[in-house]
Amino acid sequence: MPELPEVETVKKALEKSIKNKRIIDFYHGEKDLRFPFPKLYVKKLIGNIILKPLRLGKYCILPLSNKKNMLLHLGMSGKILILNKKPKIGPHDHILISLEGGIYILYNDQRRFGFIDIIDENIFENKFIKKLGPEALSSKFNGENFYNLIKNKDKSIKSILLDQTIVAGLGNIYVNEVLFASNISPKRKGKNISKIKSFLLVENVKKILKKAIKFGGTTIKDHIQPDGNLGYFKQNLKVYGRTNDKCVNCEGKIKEIRQLGRTSFFCGFCQR
């Protein structure tokens, strides 16, 4: 699933290419994405100018000149491509936004877990956005606040970090990497994380996410950047997807377990 760095990469590419461009046509395929998209929404889009794109957590937001906002979520396998030629619609191409100047925004999603929505109300009152906790890269996500949130929690630290109501933007890839960098087992309970470790963990969240953004995100199976290039942070992964490989810090091997229906990768010697 695209996480904060991947969505930030998409947002930056959109800002560079489509900011202040007018929507001249909008196509939505017959197949629904995660949620149905009412055809009446098309009338709310045509003729509007897209203002400066935003990102909140894993959501990309396109503010429109009519004071409404287009909300995009890439789901498990969604991809945004920015094209200079109208493409032939393929079986997994679900949305095509045609803009003035011959620019096309194509949304491709093989698994159809992503969605697009039009927000009429204040963006922070939207049912998806208002549930989000502080942004992982914001000052509100800091060691003191995080420690106070987790110090009494009986849940595993991995489940806490994946909870978007606690911190917005993290997913399985980066949580694995952050916990390794912090020498914390994904199985350790929140209440057993010291204050010092809480500060270290928050520091590593920010450090790793910023580095991933610099490299254009992580290409595992699905993510490519909007210009068609791959994200290169995969080359910096220390534990994710490295089952039975030698740990980069010790003589141990990377282990793999299932948590919350997802795979956790960790070193049993380095992470306690």
Concerning whether 58 is annotated as a catalytic residue, the answer is yes
Concerning whether 111 is annotated as a catalytic residue, the answer is no
Beta bridge partners of 189: 156
Catalytic option among 3, 6, 8, 177 = 3
Catalytic option among 11, 21, 58, 238 = 58
How does 161-177 read in b/e, with b if 16+ C-beta sit within 10 Å? bbbbebbbbbbbbbbbb
Q: Which of 41, 32, 110 is nearest to 75 (CA)?
A: 110
> What is the residue type of 75?
G
Q: Which of 107, 124, 129 is nearest to 34 (CA)?
A: 107
Concerning whether 262 is annotated as a catalytic residue, the answer is yes
Q: How far apart are CA 204 and CA 165, in angstroms?
A: 19
CA atoms within 13 Å, Cβ hemisphere of 259:
23
Sheet holding 54-56, edge to edge: 54-56, 59-63, 69-73, 115-119
Catalytic option among 2, 5, 63, 186 = 2
Catalytic option among 19, 112, 234, 262 = 262
Return the number of other C-beta atoms located less than 10 Å from residue 182's C-beta: 22
Contact between 37 and 25 under an 8 Å Cβ cutoff? The reply is no
Active-site residues, by number, are 2-3, 58, 262
